[in-house]
Amino acid sequence: MNKNRRRVYEGKAKILYEGPEPGTLVQHFKDDATAFNKQKHQIIEGKGVINNRISEFVFNRLNEIGVPTHFIRRLNMREQLIREVEIIPLEVVVRNVAAGSLSKRLGLEEGAALPRSIIEFYYKSDELQDPLVSEEHITAFGWATPQELDDIMALALRVNDFLSGLFLGIGIRLVDFKMEFGRLYEGEMVRVVVADEISPDSCRLWDVQTNEKLDKDRFRRDLGGLVEAYQEVARRLGILTEQDQRERKRPVLVKTDR
Ligand code: UDP
């Protein structure tokens, strides 16, 4: 791996490096966990490796059903090759069940079913702590055009329907999740694609039977067992970590009668 490659951007949980070809980047998953606008910070060993695998899995499935994304392929334990996009400065949250900031803001009990899936937009700004904004703000300030916003909402609902079914099939309720979108420039063309990551860091995932939290709320709420919870999500998705695969390839002692 080229250690002298240029770092394009460093965020809370990921680093972006320049990629091997123009128009590509390498997305590196760190073990850092942060919450409450970085007031809470911890290194959780192994988190980055699992998120790289889970996000790879989700983005591959999205690419397969024709949802455009920035994802090209996973490179190694912590890194994936992605297309360079211009990030639209919005965190797009889709909610199916009341939880987190929605429960607080509107006084809804966590776990209450919502009348329908709800899309929210937050303006990406650390200084302002990602304020909730409306479509009016987004188009008036030019963060996205009305056409882009239409595309974002259609894609967000499609991803929500697909992922809700995918997770329900493995006994997990997709309570809510956050997505980011980017502009992909292809010659004269520009289109909106799903970017960033989709992992237990950016989703609320509850076990259908027990309501056990299998997501970053384990860190936010000091519940412990974060890596084990993320591993459980990976296991149910049928993802084996490279270590598991190595262990499986070990010779197995076969007992005989003699
Ligand atoms: N989320 C995220 N990054 C953020 C804020 C929220 O990935 O900076 C995700 C979060 O994991 C949850 C959903 O977006 O799945 C909704 O989060 P909420 O608005 O309830 O905020 P929180 O309770 O996390 O402050």
* Residue 119 CA, ligand 1 centroid: distance in Å: 12
100 lines ligand 1 (CB under 6 A): yes
Nearest-CA residue for ligand 1 atom 13 is 177
Which amino acid residue places its CA nearest to atom 2 of ligand 1? 202
If you measure from the C-alpha of residue 202 to the centroid of ligand 1, how many angstroms do you get, rounded to a whole number? Answer: 6
Per-residue pLDDT, 2: 63
Q: What is the pLDDT of residue 200?
A: 98
Predicted confidence at residue 38, as pLDDT, reads 87
What phi, psi does 126 have (nearest 5°)?
-60, -40
The rounded distance, in Å, linking the Cα atoms of 118 and 161 is 12
Q: Residue 130 CA: which ligand 1 atom is closest?
A: 8
Q: Whose CA is nearest to atom 19 of ligand 1?
A: 101
How far away, in angstroms, is 88 Cα from ligand 1 center?
17
In this prediction, residue 46 carries a pLDDT of 97
Pocket flag, ligand 1, residue 47 (CB < 6 Å): no
Pocket flag, ligand 1, residue 56 (CB < 6 Å): no
Q: Are 131 and 123 in contact (CB under 8 A)?
A: yes
Q: How far is the CA of 92 from the centre of ligand 1 (A)?
A: 10
34 lines ligand 1 (CB under 6 A): no
What is the Å distance from ligand 1's center to 117 Cα? 15
- Give me the pLDDT at residue 240, please: 72
**What pLDDT is recorded for position 132?**
98
> Which atom of ligand 1 sits closest to the CA of residue 203?
15
The rounded average pLDDT for each run of 10 residues, N- to C-terminus, in the chain (258 residues) is: 84 97 98 93 97 98 98 98 98 98 98 98 97 98 98 98 98 98 96 98 98 98 97 95 63 66
Whether residue 215 contacts residue 227, with contact meaning beta carbons closer than 8 Å, is answered with no
